[in-house]
A and B are shown apart, each in its own frame.
Chain A
Amino acid sequence: MGHTITEKILLAHAPGVKDISPGDFIRAKVDLCMGNDITSPIAIKEFRALGKKKVFNQNRVILVPDHFLPAKDAKSANQAQLLKDFAGEYGITNYFELGEMGVEHALVPERGIILPGDLMIGADSHTCTHGALGAFATGVGSTDLAYAMAFGECWFKVPETIKLVFKGKPKKWVGGKDLILHAISDLGVSGALYKTLEITGPAIEGLPMDDRFTICNMAIEAGAKNGIIEADKTTEKYIKAALRKYKQPRKSYNLYKSDPDARYSDIREYNVSKMEPVVAAPHLPSKGRPVSEYKGVKVDQVVIGSCTNGRISDLKTAAAVLKRRKVHPNVRLVVIPATQSIYKEAMDEGYMEAFIKAGATFCTPSCGPCLGGHMGILAEGEVAVATTNRNFVGRMGHPKSYIYLANPAVAAASAVKGQISHPSEL
């Protein structure tokens, strides 16, 4: 029986294991482990309690204080300080201070730290983003991170795989966000629980890396353990450019493909050719419907950013919609580039100017309001359109606020109209 990409990567990292099947419990070596300013403090405390003098590999631990930084209050500053002190003490090379820092799931691939075929764990649920590079990447908790920092391994249950095949060619204004919101609405928020989402098909082959990251980023919203896309020419071009730019010590990587006779617990096909932009209504990411069905919903705030849609092509799309237009007087538009390098590119390319001239606020990289941290918390009764990944109760602020998830073009158009709108309405 053949294997999926995910099974092959897990097997390659499990010493002494000859073959694996879904359902097996294994211990596997991790290439990378990562934490942020919320999850790392617990991991650091647990690691220190072990009394180990070294981390398993000082180049393979990644610490990114992205959630509440720039520190929103003294307690958050204390948490971030724990990361900084730990990184200094243990010689962690991949620690990113404010000014270099970006949202972890945009920053790590951008710098070529994660490579195809890698096994990565991250104490952040959206670690599944990195699967877009043909790597196995999954979210874990702080204790898993502590254990991995100490021993360089983690326990896993080998997941079953659901194959999602996207066919056709997406229309204008339709991108990775719409494809994944559509799939989550079909699967449900627990439809892929404990499983892998292997994302494939001609529509995916035609997508740039940014859209692929968006798709894998939201695999967790269907309950999945990981999302994964086979690495191809687009992936290799992206990786090679990152390795050159950031002079990473690792240069070689492994490309895995699923065998033709690999086992899938389910295969679903979607035709994207007729798909409209998708908007997910409160309070679940699975409540996605074509944007036209939510047309006219009044909006108080629009957020463009996050590990889902804060990359350069997202900002380019939104800036194009906003150019020579004004944000509606009743709307606050918060734009947050995901990394410092995206920030600079947005400045060089004139996107930043388009946002500011339109009346948006252009912020420093951070997870910010996505998880209700800071930089745009919602008041009671307020409605937001966000390019982020979750619209749970209270996620962006007050428990009685409402979040609609959308792609960057719909978000920008809604900011201009003051209500949920299709960009072609402008």
Chain B
Amino acid sequence: MKLKGKVHKFGNDINTDEIIPARYLNTSDPEELAKHCMEDADPDFVNKVRKGDIIVAGDNFGCGSSREHAPISIKSAGVSCVIAKSFARIFYRNCINIGLPIFTSPEASEELKPGDTAEVDADKGKIRKARSKKEYSSETFPGFIKDIMKAGGLMEYAKKKK
């Protein structure tokens, strides 16, 4: 799978209250959640984001609450993947489980700038700035996590397993 989109950059320790504030948690409708994606980190994000765009963040992205509404809002806002220096644990597994591609790459997190266009080869975990030869690698996933991601998430994986 190849992903390509404009980079939206965020700093360290972006928490799930910023990604989707609790005032919107009285629904789990993905389209509703998408309208408020990243609202308390950047109130203008939903107006700027286009289908396929990529979030690039620093350390500990998605820390705090376990709300799956956070990765759901990102996915349904059209973001194709998230690249970060590191991810908070629950957010990380939620992304795998709902099939939102994520890449841990300190190098890419450091060097990709807001407005850059990034290209990601999801299967190889290779990240590149468009029209540039430099390639950044990311941490690879073990076998069955890859299977979950390939299936499009844990429940799709479970349905196939049956």
Chain A residues with a Cβ under 8 A of chain B = 25, 38-39, 41-42, 45-46, 49-50, 67-68, 72-73, 75-76, 79, 122-125, 127, 139-144, 146-147, 150-151, 155, 189-190, 193-194, 223, 225, 284, 371-373, 390, 392-395, 399
Contacts and interface: CB of A to CB of B under 8 A. Distances in A.
Contact of B142 (A25, A68, A372): A25
B17 A392 contact: yes
B13 A189 contact: yes
Interface string B37-68: 00011000000000000000001100111111
Contact of B13 (A68, A75, A284, A399): A284
B80 interface: no
B158 A50 contact: yes
Contact of B63 (A25, A39, A142, A189): A189
B119 interface: no
A25 B155 contact: no
Contacts, number: 130
Contacts of B88: 190, 193, 223
Given A72-B26, A143-B68, A143-B153, A394 B60 contact: no
A39 B155 contact: no
A140 B90 CA distance: 6
A393 B154 contact: no
B40 A143 contact: no
Contact of A68 (B17, B26, B28): B26
Contact of B22 (A49, A124, A150, A372): A372
Contacts of B94: 140-144
Contacts of B60: 189-190, 193, 223
B26 A394 contact: no
Given A125-B66, A392-B64, A394-B18, A75 B26 contact: yes
A219 to B, nearest CB: 11
Contacts of A41: 28
B154 A45 contact: no
Contacts of A144: 93-94, 97, 154
Contacts of B23: 372
